């Protein structure tokens, strides 16, 4: 059954913050965006939730499609819903976190131009509201450098 609504509806996205610890430094996995908006800018892996999947399935799919990582336990962290967070239109993003504890190889795929680990205290300028997401993650975890 198809429904139509008189009121506009926001899109739902997922973003994934994958962290690893190298020696005493925490690193965050970022992708370099291949397409607009923010082509060439660094961002958390993520994307739109498809109509036939849960946000958990979307997070696992997007992480694999953009970074080649799979099988990482992901946990819901927070929802970001600022009205103007995406220039393409109204989006609400469910943020997931995960810890890489194995030696999986990262590789840019799909709409990621590049993937790279960055020390959490040396991040490049981030697309969308991803700097705000990372700051909230640092505060929540209350860990120096994270």
Residues annotated as part of the active site: 114
Task: Report the SS3 class of residue 23.
Answer: coil
The Cα 73–Cα 97 span in angstroms is 8
Single out the residue of 134, 141, 143, 136 nearest to residue 28, CA to CA: 134
Q: Tell me how far apart the alpha carbons of residues 20 and 146 are, in angstroms, rounded to a whole number.
A: 10
DSSP 120: T
Does residue 37 have a cis bond before it (omega within 30 degrees)? yes
């Amino acid at each position: 059954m198809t429904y139509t609504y008189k009121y506009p509806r926001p899109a739902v996205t997922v973003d994934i913050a994958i962290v690893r610890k190298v020696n005493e430094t925490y690193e965050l996995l970022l992708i370099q965006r291949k397409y607009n908006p923010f082509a060439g800018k660094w961002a958390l892996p993520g994307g739109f939730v498809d109509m036939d999947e849960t946000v958990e399935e979307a997070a696992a799919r997007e992480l694999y499609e953009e970074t080649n990582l799979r099988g990482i336990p992901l946990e819901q962290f927070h929802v970001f819903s600022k009205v103007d967070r995406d220039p393409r239109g109204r989006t609400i993003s469910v943020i997931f976190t995960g810890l890489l504890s194995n030696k999986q190889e990262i590789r840019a795929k799909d709409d990621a131009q590049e993937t790279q680990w960055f020390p959490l205290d040396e991040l490049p300028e981030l697309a969308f509201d991803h700097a705000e997401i990372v700051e909230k993650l640092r505060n929540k975890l209350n860990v120096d450098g994270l």
